[in-house]
Amino acid sequence: MRLSVNNLACERGERRIFKGVSFTLSPGEALVITGRNGAGKSSLLEILAGRLHPAAGVILLEEAGERTLPECLHYVGHRDALKAALTAEENLTFARDFLGNPALKPREALDAVGLAHAARLPVAYLSAGQRRRVALARLLVAKRPLWLLDEPTSALDTASQETLRLLLESHRDNGGMIAATTHSPLFLNDAKEIRIERTPSPSAFAGEGT
């Protein structure tokens, strides 16, 4: 499977956020997306995930058979998207059943992120870092080749960041692809990088030449 993005543009509220974003991802490759706050990094991932419509540009998914792009990806955004009243294990069981194409069992996925001891705890009782690890464990309960990660290291301590890095590299070693926004280094081997620059508003140029 190969993902090609050509001259993508994003608008919010009739305001052009970015334009001209192009890149490709092939099996085993990772893309790190950087830029200032408000540049549109999260919006780019939301477009790829099908949550936003691009203002311009083309997204092509090649050699994916009959699967659509949303059917081929995991998306982990800023919000952990967990049910607070459910346990960590119950949240992952729901995700595994909903997404299909199961991989690790929920307990195995929690063990992989160092949270086997918290399997039966309601998510409401977990710390921000633990909730983030449960959200990232969703990547492991269903097989999907493309991982879209918005600031994946948010709230993670140093040890958990290293665990995440190893999981990302393992996914790539098995032919997976990753696109991640970040303000912190992910230390992924041979990762591509693009920087998103916010398109200046017309008012930014008002008064030039005076």
pLDDT tens digit sequence for 102-130 = 999 999 999 999 999 999 999 999 999 99
Domain ranges of the chain: 2-82+142-204
What CATH number has the domain spanning 2-82+142-204?
Answer: 3.40.50.300
Rounded Cα gap, residues 69 and 170, in angstroms: 22
- With cut-offs at 50, 70 and 90, classify the pLDDT of residue 176: very high
Q: What is the pLDDT of residue 20?
A: 96
pLDDT in tens, 12-58: 888 899 999 999 999 999 999 999 988 999 999 999 999 999 999 99
Which H/E stretch holds residue 30? strand 30-34
- 201 in the Ramachandran plot: left (φ > 0), alpha (ψ -120 to 50) or beta? beta
CA pair distance 143, 128, nearest whole angstrom:
25
Helix (H) or strand (E) holding 112: helix 106-112
d(CA 134, CA 146): 19
Q: DSSP letter string over 134-184? A: HHHHHHHHB--SEEEEESTTTT--HHHHHHHHHHHHHHHHTT-EEEEE-SS
Tell me, what's the pLDDT at 201? 63
Considering the entire predicted model, what is its pTM? 0.92
Q: What is the DSSP letter of 14?
A: T
Token duo for residue 113: 């992120």
Q: 57-99, pLDDT tens digit by residue?
A: 999 999 888 889 999 999 999 889 999 999 999 999 999 999 9
> What are the φ/ψ torsions at residue 92 (nearest 5 degrees)?
-75, -35
